[in-house]
Amino acid sequence: MTVLITGGAGFIGSHLAENLVAEGYRVICIDDFNDYYDPRIKWENIAGLQARPEFRLVKGDITNKETLEELFSAWNIDQVVHLAARAGVRPSLRQPALYEKVNVGGTINLLEQCVRHQVKKFIFGSSSSVYGEQDKIPFSEEDRIERPISPYAATKRAAELICYTYHHLYQLPVICLRFFTVYGPRQRPEMAIHKFTSLIYQRQPIPLYGDGSSSRDYTFISDIVSGLRAAMDRNFGYEIINLGNSSPIQLKELVRLIEEALGLKARIDFQPPQSGDVTRTYADISKAQKLLGYHPEVPIEEGVALFVDWFKRNRPCPAAHHVA
């Protein structure tokens, strides 16, 4: 089977690609290696895959229709796992048009190709950010979500809706997976666990927005890959499914776990809450358990220790921290 992974040189994409190649799948990776963070990190992510005959890299942009037409015409693609996106809540406040172009327009371009070339399944990497500020917890796929609080969240929700439209019009099987704060080895450098670990390690202050009581449902990368693989192996018409750990932790407790794993004390620089950031995330994973047999296995304490161990062995270049 041939699988196209968009954003395949990124954090989640490269882990999925490694998993698939190890099992003998042919994997086509498309990535534009943009400067959201140091592109060298992405090249390092796929360094171990480049020599594998099952792996092919296309350096290209999903907003370029000609590039996608050439790609889909050259390969008989069975499934698309669409992970490419402009990521991050705060940068989306500064560049909303770019987020719409990539996250919505790029998704439409891919869906068009899937219909034209009779792709068997489309899996879309969505985000817990679509839930916005919810009073009801945990967050369920059945919740009404009509008030996203950042352009990033709005574009992810818009992409889910356009995915449904293409399923309805063309019977394209689609699964939208709402990821809840994924972390682990090779996590993007601007994300909290990686950023805090790096700054504490360098004996620099860490910026903490709010009073530290906000909470996130952190999900280890191996659990996300397990959920993705289960989605690839099962057949549905159109489904939206949460992939989380269903065990949120407060920011101040997360910092304590990182301190413990590093054996260092954090210097905290308290900052006002940031626009676009939600107070909490908390995944109801009962649907994932029922439909995908999904059962996260890595608790946050173990996951943070695994990440810190990786970080110590693979410290990134200082340029990786230019995105706040």
> Domain containing 136 — which CATH number?
3.40.50.720
Nearest by Cα to 29 from 69, 76, 65, 83: 83
User: Largest alpha-carbon pair distance within the chain?
Assistant: 56
Q: Which of 106-115, 127-136, 312-321 has the highest mean pLDDT?
A: 106-115
The arithmetic mean of pLDDT across residues 15-25, rounded, is 98
pLDDT surpassing 90 at residue 174 = yes
**Average model confidence (pLDDT) across the chain:** 94
Q: Give the pLDDT band of residue 6 (cuts 50, 70, 90).
A: very high
Contact at 8 Å (CB) between 268 and 206? Answer: yes
CA dist 166 and 218 (Å) reads 31
d(CA 255, CA 277): 18
Residue 195: which of 40, 88, 46 has the closest Cα? Answer: 88
pLDDT, mean of residues 205-228: 94
Cα 285 to chain centroid distance, Å, stands at: 17
pLDDT, residue 315, reads 77
pLDDT digits (tens, 9 = 90+) for 36-88: 999 999 999 999 999 999 999 999 999 999 999 999 999 999 999 999 999 99
Q: Do residues 118 and 111 touch, judged by C-beta distance below 8 A?
A: no
**% residues pLDDT > 70 (the chain):** 97
For the cut 50, the answer to whether the pLDDT of residue 323 exceeds it is no
* 152 belongs to the catalytic site: yes
Whole domain around residue 302: which residue ranges? Answer: 2-250+256-321
The pLDDT of residue 319 is 37
pLDDT reading at 92 higher than 80? yes
Surface-to-core class of residue 84, CB atoms within 10 Å of its CB (0-12 exposed, 13-18 middle, 19+ buried): buried
The per-residue pLDDT for 322 is 35
Please give the structure tokens belonging to residue 276.
């676009």
Residue 286, both tokens: 């009962």
**Predicted local confidence at residue 56, as pLDDT:** 97
The confidence score (pLDDT) of residue 316 equals 52
Total domains in the fold of the chain? 1
User: What is the rounded average pLDDT of the residues 275-286?
Assistant: 90
**Top-confidence residue, 278 or 32:** 32
| Kind of pairing between the strands at 249-250 and 215-216 | antiparallel
| pLDDT exceeds cutoff 60 at 321 | no
Cα–Cα nearest to 212, from 268, 265, 263: 268
Residue 320 has pLDDT above 70, yes or no: no
- Which of 37, 99, 152, 238 is an active site residue? 152
pLDDT at 250: 95
